[in-house]
Structure 1
Amino acid sequence: MAQAVRRSPLSHFSHFSPFAFLNSDGRPHPVENSFAAVTLLLGGVAAITAIWDGLHLVSSWTGLAGVATGMWAQFISATTGERFVTVIGLGAAAVGMYLGVAHGGFIT
């Protein structure tokens, strides 16, 4: 049973991952973590660009993409950390989208 003891050559680098706090169950979830990170990024962009009236197209579309990505991330999430990051990103994306729509909408 030597194959049962064999470890991956990169397994000792797993604690250096920037998403290590998202993997609270000890297993890697690259797809779920990526969706959570993209949701947070899109939500941040939507919320920041919603400050200016002239960037309503960016904030509206980025917010819509962030909400759609966040809903899928919530659907496939495996740990509480992923859900926490996704909800923060979803909230920011929704606020950015709503303010973008209030400033002019999806079309100029």
Structure 2
Amino acid sequence: MAQAAHHGPFAFAEHLLNIDGRPHPVENRYAIATLLVGAVAAIFSIWNNMHLVSSWAGLVGIALGARAQMISVTTAQRFLAVLGLGAAGVGLYLGLAHGGPFGGVLG
């Protein structure tokens, strides 16, 4: 059955991101991953003792977001990537302010 519908965990989100009517699975997954990692970084930056998680998640989120911006095709993908980049930046900067990615290891 070659025309079987694809139902994955992000199938509905990927459908919303394909506003041009063509599938872009790699680009969609980069945008979604940027948003999720950015959210993790921002949420964990609330607590002072979680600076390791928020710093590293922020670094990974910024790298993912940069890649997502470079390969994005649709405006919806860029929108998610920018939201994720902002959240990752907040998580990174607050994580750095609370102790950084190597807190306690180097000093």
What's the TM-score bracket when you normalise by the shorter of the two chains?
0.7 to 0.9
Query: Within 2, Cα distance between the matches of 1:9 and 1:47?
Result: 40
The alignment-based identity, stated in percent, is: 59
Normalization by structure 2: what TM-score?
0.87
- Match status 1:17 vs 2:45: no
Name 1:59's counterpart in structure 2. Answer: 54
Q: Deviations over 1:30-68 (max 9, x none)?
A: 000000011001000000000000000000000000000
Please tell me the root mean square deviation across aligned C-alpha atoms, in Å. Answer: 1.9
Could you say if the C-alpha distance between residues 12 and 61 of structure 1 is closer, same or farther in structure 2, counting changes exceeding 3 Å? closer
Q: How does 1:26-105 map to 2 (within 5 A)?
A: 26-105=21-100
Gapped runs of 5+ residues in structure 2? none
- After TM superposition, where is structure 1 displaced by more than 6 Å over at least 4 residues in a row? none
Query: Within 2, Cα distance between the matches of 1:9 and 1:89?
Result: 33
- Please tell me whether Structure 1 or Structure 2 has the larger radius of gyration of its CA atoms: 1
Shift of 1:12: 8.8
The number of equivalent residue pairs is 100
Query: Within 2, Cα distance between the matches of 1:10 and 1:33?
Result: 20
Decide which structure has greater helix share: 1
Task: Give the secondary-structure state (helix, strand or coil) at the position aligned to 1:66.
Answer: helix
